[in-house]
Structure 1
């Protein structure tokens, strides 16, 4: 005779597993709908939820019950509207606390370096400078003389400009006030030129250091974003100008943007709409 516990277990058969999987997916769709429903900032009614998800009201009620028990969904006692519960904030905070950007980015950086055959950097921002936090060397004989932990000015580097293109006015002011001396004949040295360059970066999605920081070195970079839509890191491809030629910049830009977008997704980030 089966015990009470074993009698209540879901049979381990393909049909039961499919049904459980289907229910889980539909329950998760409720969470996603509530998270994305900008049209109802004070919560969503049962009718709107059922209509939006193309489910019956009875199905929504059945699925939302366990979500309410775990405080993933809350219901307003007066209006009866549903909204995300506080447990989502806890899960999100735990995810962010345990997130390791370098570890998450590492396989993407190695793949990018292999595809482009140039040095790839992962960079953080400490205004008015950028800091290299990871590097994958180029497989070619002539390499970049950069190191993890090294710093460079933001205004004349591709990664720095990738950050600045999405920075607030006070951060931009801090960078400009720190000074913009010419490091090469191509360096941007005025606030007006810098603002115009940052507008171009926002439009095309990537930044270029066109031999502005070091002689004979050209770099292309793109930002990766966090859950708030802020730039959390930037990825760059760097190499001798004789290899990273003007003709290659657009294609390299496409590749670094693709890598940064994938990194944004893996970080749970949200890229802002193009401006």
Structure 2
């Protein structure tokens, strides 16, 4: 075999692998889009959002249906399949931190009459891994398990960033060329302000969200050390309606939250 033939074979394999990867990406894109439509989505709508030809999206849906990850209702609209929901909920319930942290969240929700969260950092966002609503109260937060928010605009996000970004240069590198999203008038919008807030959060051992992610909502966040005694694996927060529980009420009770976490350890 000459050199030209030898070089051609890996190139063909690479192209085949790339084609398979793109196909897998399309299937996953369809799956993620279905999750945004609890009432179902039609083929035309999915095709438009995904930006792929209709036959390609239809094949992706067929693959998902064969695996039980998607289904079609009596209106012909596509929804997430029961197998996907079974897998997601089973996995979530068995996550070690979810199982261990839930009693703390329940205690905090009952103590404050507000919503308690457990969240982790994922790049520039935080992801809610667990949530417990208060046992009573007509108004509850719309946050969901698996939901995301900008890290710099949330108490849990700033708390976790405080342990990772310990200098102004580190904060600038983390921000990079992408501007900080301003969710409200209170959201920190530049590196200097964020660095000062992270340093303060690190010094006092907790972070706050003073209506920075959503008007009318504030929160107190503390670190959770589930996997390492030095670096938080995540953070818990008590998120409250400002008219019902002012931020000062939360910060005045920070030792109560620490005691609840102490019981968790």
The residue that corresponds to 1:245 in the other structure is 246
1:153 to 135, 146, 150: 150
The residue that corresponds to 2:66 in the other structure is none
1:230–1:105 distance in 2 versus 1, CA, 3 Å: same
- Retained in 1: the 8 A contact 2:119–2:236? yes
The residue that corresponds to 1:256 in the other structure is 257
- Retained in 2: the 8 A contact 1:127–1:171? no
Task: Give the 3-state SS of the residue equivalent to 1:167 in structure 2.
Answer: coil
The residue that corresponds to 2:32 in the other structure is none
The residue that corresponds to 1:123 in the other structure is 119
- Retained in 2: the 8 A contact 1:187–1:212? yes
Unaligned 5+ residue runs, structure 2?
Answer: 1-93
What per-residue deviation string (whole Å, max 9, x for no partner) do you get for residues 51-101 of structure 1?
Answer: xxxxxxxxxxxxxxxxxxxxxxxxxxxxxxxxxxxxxxxxxxxxxxx9701
- Structure 2 Cα separation of the partners of residues 148 and 137 of structure 1: 12
The residue that corresponds to 1:227 in the other structure is 228
The residue that corresponds to 1:208 in the other structure is 208
Matches within 5 A, 1:34-113: 100-113=96-109
1:171–1:110 distance in 2 versus 1, CA, 3 Å: farther
The residue that corresponds to 2:185 in the other structure is 185
CA drift of 1:202 comes to: 1.5
The residue that corresponds to 1:164 in the other structure is 161
Q: TM-score, normalised by structure 1?
A: 0.56
Structure with the higher fraction of residues in helix conformation: 2
- Retained in 2: the 8 A contact 1:154–1:175? no
Q: TM-score, normalised by structure 2?
A: 0.58
Larger Rg: 1
CA RMSD of aligned residues (A): 2.1
- Size of the aligned set, in residue pairs, is 167
